[in-house]
Amino acid sequence: MLWKIKIGILACTLMCLSACMVTPNYQKSDQLRSVNFKSGVTITPPKDYCLDEKLVAETESAGFVLILPCLDAKGDVQAGLVTVTVLSNDPKAGFHENRNFAAVGQQNFRRYEHFGSVKHGSDEQIIGMQQDGWQLIVNDNRYTSVLTLYIPQYETIGEEAAQKRLRSLLQSIHHKQVDMVPSEAGYDTVIRPRARPLT
């Protein structure tokens, strides 16, 4: 049940930040190569892709950007737009109750991922894009990232290609590294081997 509430919060955050998106008059002066959010997240798209400054929004705990091809792109770029929402999680909470997420990781580090098709509602629709798209949700305990691929009306992007693209763009999101404080360490302990006395 807890995971349903969290997904609802994510959806509300996305809708509030994007609020009935219509692609604006995208100009060269609007292009950003990178953005830093208050939550400690930096988003830097791959080469030939930019962020639209008009569509960057943030709160204390969440950030929203739209990634699209740069107007001066020199190489081949893929069709479509990708919205990225990054939400800072409560460190005491996690998606452990959600069995639909695939756990990835070892030992104390847990990461949960969900990929699938998504039908954009009227308040999430972008003019010129299909109603159906693809979405990748990744939770790594500190942050939840939601990447949504909008596909142009004239284009067809299959599941495998969409998943590969969104996973590649996931590398554009960088989290500020922080040292673990005692309250976050929980019950994780380190046992050091005792040195044997020399005889």
Which CATH number do you get for residue 63?
3.40.1000
Domain span at residue 135?
2-23+31-185
| 137 in any annotated domain | yes
| 196 in any annotated domain | no
Contact 107, 121 (CB under 8 A): no
Could you write out the DSSP letters of every residue in 118-170? EE--TTT--TTB-SEEEEEEEE-SSEEEEEEEE-BTT----HHHHHHHHHHHH
Tell me if the pTM is above 0.75.
no
| 195 in any annotated domain | no
Q: Could you tell me the pLDDT band of residue 164, with boundaries at 50, 70 and 90? A: very high
Tell me the mean pLDDT in the region 95-112. 52
| 56 in any annotated domain | yes
| 85 in any annotated domain | yes
| 192 in any annotated domain | no
pLDDT of 58 strictly over 90: yes
What local confidence, expressed as pLDDT, does residue 197 receive? Answer: 57
What is the rounded distance in angstroms from the CA atom of residue 196 to the CA atom of residue 199? 9
| 199 in any annotated domain | no
How many domains does the chain divide into? 1
Q: pLDDT, tens digit, for every residue of 111-161? A: 889 999 999 888 888 888 999 999 999 998 789 999 999 999 999 999 999
| 78 in any annotated domain | yes
Of 33-37, 114-118, 130-134, 192-196, least confident by mean pLDDT is 192-196
